[in-house]
A and B are shown apart, each in its own frame.
Chain A
Amino acid sequence: MLSSRLQIRLIALVLALIGFSITWYKVDVLGIPIYPHDKRSVYNIGAEISFIGQHESALISMAIPPKQQGIRILSYDATSADFGFTTAQTANGKRAEWSKRMVDGKQRLFYSIDAIIDSHAKEEEENTLDMQLEEETLSDYTKPVLNAAQTLLKDIHNHSADAHSFTALLIQHFNADAPSQTVKMLRTQNSDDMLNLLYRLLRYEGITVRKIRGLYLGETQHNQSLIPMLEVYSNERWQLFDLKEGKIPRAANFFVWQKGGVSLLDAIGVKESKITFSVSEHRVPAGQIAKHEKMLKEAPLLNFSLFSLPVSQQNSFKHILLIPIGALVVVFLRILVGLRTSGTFMPILIALAFMQTSLIVGLIMFLVIVGFGLLIRSYLSHMNLLLVARISAVVIVVIAIMSVMSILSYKLGLDEVLSITFFPMIILAWTIERMSILWEEEGAKEVFIQGGGSLFVATLAYFAMSNTLVGHLTFNFPELLFVVLAIIIMLGTYSGYRLSELMRFKSMV
C-alpha cells in the first residue's frame, strides 16, 4: 500500500497533468490563445423564449437577423429540446420556427448567433422598395385627431427639406420637454407604441420607412429587450433614427435583429410567451474566427465545453469559475500566512460582491452596513431574543440599511451604490452576529483583527478574481481548475510553519 502522503501527491500530480494536458491540447491543436490580448471579439447574441404550454400543439415563430452591413454572422444555433425546428423564408425576412404537437408547462427555447464586427460585411440584396408600399390612411383615427395630425405633418413638412430632415423634426417634436397638444392627443389616441405611431405618421406622409429592432454589441448583458428604431430611405440611402435621439449614425456595434414591420415573436397555442436577449463577448484571435464555427462543430472537447451552453448560463459560469480562484487565495492566506478571518469563505462572497460594485465602493458599503448592523445588533442584544429570531432580525435590518443606502445615494446621484444588492445579505447578517459576539467576548481588538483580516483576504481575492488573464484562463480553460484543485490538495498537506507563527514564536529563538 502506498502511504497516504504519497497517494495525495500522486492524485495531485495526476490532476495537474490532466489540467495541463487538456490546456495544452486546446492551445496547441485547437489554437485557443493563452493570453487575452491580440484578439477580436466574438459576440454571442442569445434569444431566450419562454412560454407556458397549454396542452395543445404549439407553433413558435421568431424573426431571425438578416445579413447586415458591418457585422458578420458566423453561426446560428438553436437549442430546442424536443421541438421540431426549421427556418423559413417569408416575405418579411427569415424566421425560425419551433413546433410541437403537445406542449405542457413552462418551456424555454434558445436561439443564438455568433457575430463579429466586420466592416467588410455586406447587407443582404433586397428589393427594399417593393415591400414598403402598403398604404397608410390613419383610418382608425377620430376626425379631430386626424385633423391635428395632418396639421402637424403639414407644419413639419414646411419646415423640412427631405424625408430625413422631416423624420428628425418629427422625432424632435415628439420628444420635446413640453409636448404639444397634438402629440399628447396622438399618444393617447390608440394603443400604438412610439415606434408604431411614428411609423404610421411617416407612412401617411408617404415616406419610405421601415422598423428596425436591434441591440448594441458590447459587454456582457442579460435580459435585454431589443431597441426599436426607424430607418428612412431618401437620397438613395437609408438613415437610422433613434426614437429619442433622432438622427444617429449607424453605430458599428449596432446589431439589427429584425427589419420590417412584422412581429418579432408569434406564439400560437401557448400563453405568457416572452422573449429576452443577452449578449456575451468572447475574445478569439483574429485568425481563428474563420475556423470558429467549424471548430465548435468538430472538436468533441469543445462540443462538450461551456461554449455549448446558452449564453446567459455561460455568463453565470464566468463568475462561478472564479470562485475556486478565490478559494485558493483563502487557502493560501490561512494555511501559509495564518490570517484570521471571520467565517472561512465569507471573504470570497464579499469579493464576488466587490466585482459587481467595484472595490472602493464595495469596501465603503461593507463597512457602512456592518457598522450600522453592529450598532443595531448591540441594541437587539438587550432585548433577550432567541438566536434564530435575532439573526432574522439582523437580516431585516441589513436589508433596511441597504434600501436606505440605495435610495439616499440615488437621490444624491451616486449610481454606484445601487449595486449594493449584490452583497450577500444572509452572510452579512451572520458576519454582524459573529462580530458582535466577538466584540462582547474578546473585545474590539479581535473584531478589528478578524474583520480587517476578512476584508484584506476579500480584497486580495477580488484582485485575483477580477484579473483579466485569470478570467480569460478560467473561462476558456476550465480544466485548469484541476490544477487549482491539485494546488489546494497539496496545500492541505502542508505541515510547515505559518508566516504568523514565525512572528509568534520569535521570542523563543
Chain B
Amino acid sequence: MSQPIPLSVNGKAVTVEADPDTLLVTFLREHLRLTGTHVGCDTASCGACTVLIGGRAAKSCNVLLGQVSGEAITTIEGITPADGSLHPMQAAFKACHGLQCGFCTPGMIMSAIDLLTHHAHATREEVRAGLEGNLCRCTGYHNIVSAVMRAAQAMQAAGGGS
C-alpha cells in the first residue's frame, strides 16, 4: 500500500507516495531515475548499490523505503559538483586509474567517502579492510587503494574528513 514517506535525497526534501516495502535502490533508480547507483547482486554482497544514509554507507539493495523515512540519502549524483568539477574522491579515482568498467565505481566511491569520514588517516591495509564490502572485478583493487590514499590527503588539505 502506498503511503507518504518524507526523506531527503541529495539535499532536496521530498515526500514520496510509495509502497514502504519498495527497495531503496529501486526507488532511486526507477522512481527518481538516479541511475548512478547500480545493482550487481541479489545477496547484498557486492556493494555496487552503496549510498550514504545519514552520512553512513549502506547497501541500498538491502534497505526498504519505509526504513529510511526522515533520513538524508546521498547518492553518487549528490556528491558531484554541479559546476563540472569533481569531489576529491572522484578526482582521485580518475588520477589513479581506480576504475575500469565503472560499474562498481559509484558504490566504491560512496564507501570510500564513508571510510575516510570516519578514518581520515587510514593506512593502505585499513583501506583494504574498509572496502571489503565492495566487489570490483576489473582493477584488482590496487589503484582503488591508491585513489583512496590520494583522496585522504586532498580531503585533509581541504580541511575536513568529509
Asked if chains A and B come from one complex, the reply is: no
Give B contacts to A, CB under 8 Å.
Answer: none
